[in-house]
Each structure stands twice: as structure tokens, then as C-alpha cells.
Amino acid sequence: MLRQAILKTAASHRARRAIEATPLTRSVVDRFVAGEDVPAAVRASGRLQTSGCLATLDYLGEDTTDRARADHVTRQYVALLDALAVAGLTGTAEVSIKLSALGQALPREGEAVALENALRICAAAARAGTTVTVDMEDHTTTDSTLGIVAQLRREFPQTGAVIQAYLHRSEADCRELATAGSRVRLCKGAYREPASVAYQSRAEVTAAYLRCAEILMGGPGYPMLATHDPEIIEAGTRLAAGRAGGHAGYEFQMLYGIRPGEQARLAEAGHQVRVYVPFGEEWYGYLMRRLAERPANLLFFLRALTSR
């Protein structure tokens, strides 16, 4: 019911105007979204670099069924990568892409369009001297997304994949991906998924995350532990201590605006910390969809407003 109410509110133009106009909304959005355009994203990357953190930038917008929009998103990423190179930030900033924003859901030719657009972005990233990580969306797209990542890796072996620990299949996917040179971001998973494919309870998801983290941190690849969960961060630091190669061989990752104090603490302790920075004019749809997909996300954002 809450989900229906959020979606109904999100779709209403009047509600949208009212929500966008309130000062509280502006301050909430500014906390979680770095700005609306490429210069704002570049400035946020610079601030993170100064504070000793890495960045991965996400141009907001997903679920495109419009070819022109998918091309627009691709051009924005290319412009962003060029701007990061000019600003000298590609040593610390990369980009995260969503295949649904690049055309994956277009009828018939969706996968081919998304692959073509993703290849253009990977080529721009390679020119700029940085990398791309491909976000994971709902479970109906997992096979398609991993297939496209495998194709991208043939030409751009540094391309990162995302694994969602809540899916039953993910331990097997981690085993497959825990190879030399393979960059894998491990997150809990943000979508509302059925029990047939995903663990439902918090305890089960945490336990699944820890099993996946052990596989990735025990392998020769490059694990990226994306979480704000203190229990997992503590386990991650223990696993990191047992790895050869020191701090250079893995990362912790967190979202922009969530637990900034913990981000700084980990960076000061010598861990690599990468902050996921969403930007773009599509922030309204982004926040509303996140809340609708999983009302627990509301709690997640609210908690961030009151804590460090």
C-alpha cells in the first residue's frame, strides 16, 4: 500500500511541483545528489579527492524506452569523462552506468543498443584513463547485464560488475567473477525481489553478503565492498588484513551523503574509500523510485539525515 501511495504521489505533477518547491526537499536532495550537471559532478569529485576519497559518478536516469534519451545519457557520460580528464581527476574518479538508462529495455534491439552505448562510454573512459562499473538492476536483468559486462570486458578488461548479495544465485556468480583482473562491487541489493530469487530477512541478507565477501576477498580479483553496515565493514577490514598486497587491492564504497563520518574514518585508517555520486536533473524520479521499490529505503535516507 505504501508503495502504491509513493508511486501515485511520484506520478502527480502537482505533488511533484509541491515536493520540489519545499526547502526541506532541496536540502534532502543536496545531501544525496551532487548537482544537476557535469560541472557540479566534477566539483564533487574534486572535493572528494581533496578529502582523500575516490569517486564513482552516476548520471541519473534509468528505465529508458526512448532511443534518443539513451543516446543523450551516453553523450552526458562522454562529456563527463572528458571534463574529468581536463580537471585531472581521472586518477580518483570513475563512472557507474545503468544499462536500462542506455536502452536495455528497448523492444527487440534493447541489449544491442545498451551494449553499443556502454562501449562508447568505456572507450571514453579508457581515453580519459579511468574505468566504468555497470550497476545491477532488478533480477529480470541479471543475466543480460552480466552477459553485456562480459562482452565489455573483452575490449575493456577493467570494466566492473555489480553483484547483489540478496540473490540466491550470487555466491555462484562471485565464484565465477573472482578471477585476476576482475573488478566486482558487492552490495546487498536495493530492489524488492520475490522470495523465489532473493533472501528476504535482514539476517539472511547479511549472512549472504558475508559469504560473498569471503569469496571475493579470498580470490585474486579486485573486490569493492559497497555497504554502510558496520557489521559488514568490520568483517571486511578483517578479511582485508588477511589479503596480500595491502590496501591497494580492494575498496570500501558508500553512497554520497550517507555516513560521511565513517567514510572519512576508513580513509584515514588507510583503506581506499570510493563514494558513489549521483548527479543530474532526474533526481526526483531517482529518489521516488528508490523509495517505492523498497519502503525500507525511506528509513535508510531518513537515518542518514540524523546520523554520521
Under the criterion CB under 6 A, does residue 258 sit at the interface with ligand FDA? yes
Contact 285, 293 (CB under 8 A): no
Q: Is residue 8 marked as binding?
A: no
What is the x/- site pattern for ligand FDA, positions 127-146, by CB under 6 A?
--------xx----------
CA dihedral of 59, 129, 221, 114, whole degrees rounded to 10: 40
Least Å from the CB of residue 186 to ligand FDA: 9
Query: Beta-strand (E) ranges in 87-221?
Result: 93-97, 132-134, 160-164, 183-187
Contact region for ligand FDA (CB under 6 A) — 19-27, 122-130, 174-182, 250-258?
250-258
SS3 state at 64: coil
Q: What φ, ψ does residue 225 adopt, rounded to 5°?
A: -85, 105
- Pick from 139, 183, 259, 289 the residue near ligand FDA by CB under 6 A: 259
CA distance to 77, 98, 140, 255, per residue, from 231 (Å): 34, 28, 29, 17
- Pick from 118, 146, 149, 162 the residue near ligand FDA by CB under 6 A: 162
Least Å from the CB of residue 86 to ligand FDA: 25
Least Å from the CB of residue 18 to ligand FDA: 26
Backbone torsion region of residue 179, taken as left when φ is above 0, otherwise alpha when ψ lies between -120 and 50, otherwise beta: beta
Which sequence positions are flagged as catalytic? 135, 185
Cβ atoms within 10 A of the Cβ of 289, count?
Answer: 19
Q: Is residue 22 marked as binding?
A: no
Least Å from the CB of residue 254 to ligand FDA: 5
Binding site for ligand FDA (CB under 6 A): 135-136, 162, 164, 187-191, 226-230, 253-255, 258-259, 276, 300, 303-304, 307
